[in-house]
Amino acid sequence: MSTTVTADIEVGVPIRTAYDQWTRFETFPQFMSGVDSIRQVDKATTHWVVSVGGATREFDADITDQVPDEHVAWHSTTAEVDHRGRVEFRPIAADRTRVDVTLEWEPEGFVEKAGAALGFDDRQVEHDLRRFKEFVESRGVGIIGEDPDLRP
């Protein structure tokens, strides 16, 4: 039985800044618990190393849908666990953006299934979004830059 988590947060930066920061996947370990590293393999593929329930897992994920300053979606391609997600960005004001996250995966083993059943996953995603908010707001507007090779 798959687990789906949805969460959202408002961040005090323009939509371009929020989107650009989120799509700099290599920075995820700075605000996302359990993510040890992410490496951009090519324009559409990332390689993840994560720690879940005391175990380290590696997988590749492909970007399946991406519209700059609007949304990005992905799914795992080599993982033991099927994992997919979508993040949408909505302008609230010139300097405020709503970030909506939907994640879906198949928990494996007792620890992951118990975590999902007890709502730990929901709380973890909400916590990571709060850390993303602090991270992106502390960096300021316009200092992130843009790598045209990574934008569709």
Angle at CA of residue 121, ends 93 and 8, nearest 5° = 10
- pLDDT, one tens digit per residue, over 103-128 is 987 766 555 555 555 556 678 889 99
Domain assignment present for 144: no
Higher pLDDT, 106 or 59: 59
Domain assignment present for 152: no
pTM over 0.85: no
Per-residue pLDDT, averaged over 35-46, amounts to 94
For 30, counting Cβ atoms within 10 Å of its Cβ (0-12 exposed, 13-18 middle, 19+ buried), the class is exposed
Domain assignment present for 63: yes
- pLDDT, one tens digit per residue, over 125-135 is 899 999 999 99
Per-residue pLDDT, averaged over 80-105, amounts to 92
Overall domain count for the chain: 1
Domain assignment present for 89: yes
**CATH code of the domain covering residue 34:** 3.30.530.20
Q: Domain range holding 39?
A: 3-139
* Per-residue pLDDT at 143: 47
* Per-residue pLDDT at 55: 80
Starting from the edge strand earliest in sequence, which strands make up the sheet with 45-52, in order?
Answer: 3-11, 96-105, 83-93, 71-76, 55-67, 45-52, 35-40
Helices (H), the chain: 15-22, 109-117, 120-139
Structure tokens belonging to residue 30: 């700075």
Domain assignment present for 150: no
* Per-residue pLDDT at 83: 84
Domain assignment present for 50: yes
Domain assignment present for 145: no
Question: What is the torsion angle, in degrees rounded to the nearest 10, for the CA atoms of residue 8, residue 83, residue 23 and residue 66?
Answer: -90
* Per-residue pLDDT at 132: 97
Domain assignment present for 148: no
